[in-house]
Structure 1
């Protein structure tokens, strides 16, 4: 079958959209990916990439939506698999009269996800989130299949017969590589590498991590912090660069990196951080960063949301803290840094767990099975 995967939010090389789903489907189907990119049309790993352009301001978004809709109308695809809640509203008319099967892929909590969209004017954000949330919960009634990245928000849907949970588990670069000790020569005074992967924004703890770094350097001069992800807004980037200068560039802003590039930094890190701040979209959802860190054997320090705290305990791969203050993060990092045996135990346990229970391979088979029945 011919498949068109569509997103006006995510970059073409987004881990879930491209590396996991598009590349998996390309094993058995002819796949075109229309996504955010400014380059030429090209083939990458068996997937035909059709760039929609890029957005810089909120006013650019409607242009991409229009391009996406035209792409669908021109496409000869049998199935359109779209990833953004914004596109659900745009595709409702097509769902009623179009001849292509539509697969709606939902990554986040239906209402909270839109409520966190900074490009939506604040004065209408709450109402917009409510409206989109209601539309998304009706998605199973209009679209052929609905895919959820987590089962934590399936309760928001009354019609569930065509809902499928395909989790955002890890792509393992070396699935059969045995664990090797990484903390036997560890000395935090010489080198303590902290890492965070994801959107670099205040509500995800960007400033708290940066302020914690300043305090940690007083105790462990070899401490550094790698932030991998897009920084927004510009005012936050200015603040972080000022802190980077004060630390002698021990704070490193990498911007968005592809999986392979990020993996090279993850391999050298000592502790993975997930200090997200209290927010409905975070508290009821699961961060894929857990799997990313565990893939490389990184002990984790994360916010003590109930489902996160339970996950860390079940897999013995890290600790949960109140992440609303830098001092809490500093204390947790210090505690782990001074216990290399505990770091090693968390590292080994997480490394094993992600290979036993959280590998993308099984989820990829679920996706292929779903498509075989469409």
Structure 2
């Protein structure tokens, strides 16, 4: 069976698309093609054939021209199933579906809720654009062979629209993260891994550092110009060690030497029912988690006793949680062990991989379009 994944936005080494989905399919004997638009050329990596249609500088050109290029290359590949990852490729998916192909729409984010929090959209336009985007996405998604979602919350929205929907959650690859509970850790080192933005709680976190003994390792990219300059003037910044963007091994090594993992995103609508992959990667590495006190996240953390939840806007609560685990290494080790166990049993990619392959086989068996 030939499977072709399509993305105009994500890099070729995207964790969900390449490292999890495409590599899993190739490992299971599928002929896997990945079409990207990053300008880095064609290659074969881990038995996945990567075809590049070139990178364009502007968003408008990407939507109009890159979409046509991806459609042309997709037709040349003549796959059994096409699996696309970006809302802007919905027209491409529809055209492939109209040609009798089986097409999967992979919904990484809850687009309407995501639009509400986009800083580059004028505030007075966000709600009408969000409403319009939801109506269009809902209507067009009914025509695809299947919809795959990154969270159960998004799945439940699409269950009302398409008859074949499954959540394939972005849980960790266990083999990427070593778990050695008695390994030596960095002195009072904690970590935050991910994009660095105001919405992801970086300001309260830096403010909290001033009242702790912690050293914060940050691995990620500053998403807004001038953000780093603003942060560097804050009390607590002297306790930050910047690592920039790290590859998969770099992330695993950083987690292995850290004592606590931080994921204190602010209470923005798009985050409330999300499943932040970094939280589960912290758990996979045996780190106690300090997470935002969103009800959904709190249910996970408390059920598995793998950390604490705090008000992400309150630096004092964040600081107290950090010190709580740094002062009591035995407690941190116990809670970290609980998190690792939860990932081994529930929150791991091997379970999600089976769901993805199952829906492919179901489509090819002829059960519906």
Q: 1:314/1:95 Cα in 2 relative to 1: closer, same or farther (>3 Å)?
A: same
Please report the TM-score for the alignment, with normalisation by the length of structure 1: 0.87
Residue in 1 that maps onto 2:149: 148
Q: 1:160/1:96 Cα in 2 relative to 1: closer, same or farther (>3 Å)?
A: closer
1:355-370 correspondence to structure 2 within 5 Å:
355-370=344-359
Higher alpha-carbon deviation: 191-200 or 166-175: 166-175
Residue in 1 that maps onto 2:114: 113
Residue in 2 that maps onto 1:341: 330
Q: Residues 147 and 164 of structure 1 are in contact (CA less than 8 Å); yes or no, is this contact kept in structure 2?
A: yes
Q: Residues 111 and 133 of structure 1 are in contact (CA less than 8 Å); yes or no, is this contact kept in structure 2?
A: yes
Shift of 1:120: 4.9
Q: Which runs of 5+ in 2 are unaligned?
A: 364-369
Q: Is 2:87 the counterpart of 1:85?
A: yes
Residue in 2 that maps onto 1:197: 193
Q: Is 2:268 the counterpart of 1:272?
A: no
**Equivalent residue for 2:310, pick from 305, 316, 321:** 321
Q: 1:56/1:193 Cα in 2 relative to 1: closer, same or farther (>3 Å)?
A: farther
Residue in 2 that maps onto 1:211: 207
Q: Is 2:78 the counterpart of 1:76?
A: yes
Residue in 2 that maps onto 1:34: 35
Shift of 1:254: 3.1
Distance 1:235 1:75 in 2: 43
What SS does the aligned partner of 1:103 have? Answer: strand
Any idea what the Cα deviations from partners look like across 1:333-368, whole Å, max 9, x if unmatched? 122222222111111111111111112112112212
Residue in 2 that maps onto 1:8: 8
Q: 1:258/1:117 Cα in 2 relative to 1: closer, same or farther (>3 Å)?
A: farther
Distance 1:68 1:122 in 2: 33
Residue in 1 that maps onto 2:366: none
Shift of 1:272: 0.5
Distance 2:116 2:192 in 1: 23
Q: 1:166/1:96 Cα in 2 relative to 1: closer, same or farther (>3 Å)?
A: closer
Shift of 1:255: 3.3
Distance 1:61 1:114 in 2: 19
Higher alpha-carbon deviation: 114-123 or 124-133: 114-123
What SS does the aligned partner of 1:373 have? Answer: helix
Distance 1:64 1:139 in 2: 20
Distance 1:329 1:36 in 2: 40
1:222-371 correspondence to structure 2 within 5 Å:
223-241=214-232, 247=238, 250-371=239-360
Work out the number of aligned pairs and report it: 360
Q: 1:126/1:8 Cα in 2 relative to 1: closer, same or farther (>3 Å)?
A: farther
What SS does the aligned partner of 2:8 have? Answer: strand
Q: Residues 244 and 251 of structure 1 are in contact (CA less than 8 Å); yes or no, is this contact kept in structure 2?
A: no
Distance 1:47 1:74 in 2: 17
Residue in 2 that maps onto 1:168: 170
Q: Over the residues paired in the alignment, what is the CA RMSD in angstroms?
A: 2.6
Any idea what the Cα deviations from partners look like across 1:96-117, whole Å, max 9, x if unmatched? 6323211001122241123344
Q: 1:174/1:303 Cα in 2 relative to 1: closer, same or farther (>3 Å)?
A: closer
Q: Residues 110 and 137 of structure 1 are in contact (CA less than 8 Å); yes or no, is this contact kept in structure 2?
A: no
Q: Residues 274 and 302 of structure 1 are in contact (CA less than 8 Å); yes or no, is this contact kept in structure 2?
A: yes
What SS does the aligned partner of 2:7 have? Answer: strand
Q: Residues 104 and 139 of structure 1 are in contact (CA less than 8 Å); yes or no, is this contact kept in structure 2?
A: no
Distance 1:82 1:256 in 2: 25
Distance 1:72 1:31 in 2: 12
Distance 1:146 1:45 in 2: 26
Any idea what the Cα deviations from partners look like across 1:264-284, whole Å, max 9, x if unmatched? 111111110011001111112
